[in-house]
Amino acid sequence: MSELAERLLAAYADGGCNDAADHPALPARSAITEVCGLLLRLFFPGFFAPVQRVDLPTVVAADLDRLQALLGQAVAGAEAYSALLVGSPGRSADDLVAAALAELEPVRALLLSDVDAAFANDPAAADRATIILGYPCIEALAVQRFAHRLYRLGIPIVPRMMTEVVHGRTGIDIHPGAAIGPSFFIDHGTGVVIGETSQIGAHCVLYHGVTLGAWNPLVRDDHGDLLRGQSNKRHPDLEDHVTVYPGATILGGDTVIGAHSVIGGNVWLTRSVPARSVVTLKDPETQLAVRQRRS
């Protein structure tokens, strides 16, 4: 084992991005997981940790302090790492975290509209408490909507780590760059993928297995490097009141689904459709055979 350790240490000496020993304190996955849990507690007090109303001021203050500390450490590490890569001073983590925490209240208002959307669109929803506690889209959206605020502040690494925490827990993969309007509902949710540059309007509904993905060829700059982030529009947009049924794949940065449109299950779509469109596949030919009963 000592020889194996020496060989590993020799490999680490190559440096690069394959180990973090020479880099500042990168965000810890365990800390980011705790951040996601604290967000759920603050957005929906009493649902993800029991609390009496008389104790609510104390609990909220403690959760905010813990969230501020964890985010501050994570953002400081991410900023220092990013600054090292580009060779410039990092920004103040305290200022960035303060700006992010100021978004808690408007993000919570959006989440309440998502809960209402789930109740309005799912006849299986007995009540809103069941939706908050049992619907994976609420957890995924709670984290993504806050991570989107971090993304807009230009904070590196942390937003993507947050959405990957809930991706692993829910099967819903929403990039923190995606901009999502109010009253959004993802029914079931497993296998949903929403890309970085997608924009989704108000009152949209997605079912499981839907992909809002990239179709464009890889775009490179004059040096041959990939254009990344929002500078390269790669993913489709949905206008208000769009419904996309299970297994549909919508691709391309120039693709816009017009308001009040319905995209049927398993549709493959790479072009825009006007408002109030209904896009479906023809029914496949179905064969039925009755097996002979064994003697």
CA-closest candidate to residue 135, choices 110, 158, 111, 100: 111
Contact between 183 and 116 (Cβ < 8 Å): yes
Residue type, 158: V
Tokens of 95: 């200022």
Token pair in block for residue 195: 């890309």
Q: Does domain 191-283 correspond to CATH entry 3.40.50.300?
A: no
| pLDDT for the residue numbered 217 | 67
The pLDDT, as a whole number, for residue 89 is 77
Phi/psi of residue 278, nearest 5 degrees: -125, 115
pLDDT of residue 263: 98
Q: How many other C-beta atoms lie within 10 A of the C-beta of residue 149?
A: 19
Q: Are strands 193-194 and 199-200 parallel, antiparallel or unpaired?
A: unpaired
What pLDDT score does 96 carry?
97
CATH number for 23-171 (one of 1.10.3130.10, 3.30.160.270, 3.40.50.300, 1.20.1250.20): it is 1.10.3130.10
Domain boundaries, the chain: 23-171, 191-283
pLDDT at 8: 83
Predicted local distance difference test score (pLDDT) of residue 285: 85
Does the pTM exceed 0.75? yes
**Which tokens belong to 291?**
């097996």
| Tens of pLDDT, residue by residue, the chain (295 residues) | 899 998 888 877 765 555 555 666 789 999 999 999 999 999 999 999 999 999 999 999 999 999 999 999 999 999 998 888 777 777 899 999 999 999 999 999 999 999 999 999 999 999 999 999 999 999 999 999 999 999 999 999 999 999 999 999 999 999 999 999 999 999 999 999 999 999 999 999 999 999 999 987 677 777 777 777 777 899 999 999 999 999 999 999 999 999 999 999 999 999 999 999 999 998 888 888 898 887 6
The residue whose two tokens read 């827990």 is 169
* pLDDT for the residue numbered 258: 98
Nearest to 200 by CA among 161, 243, 160: 243
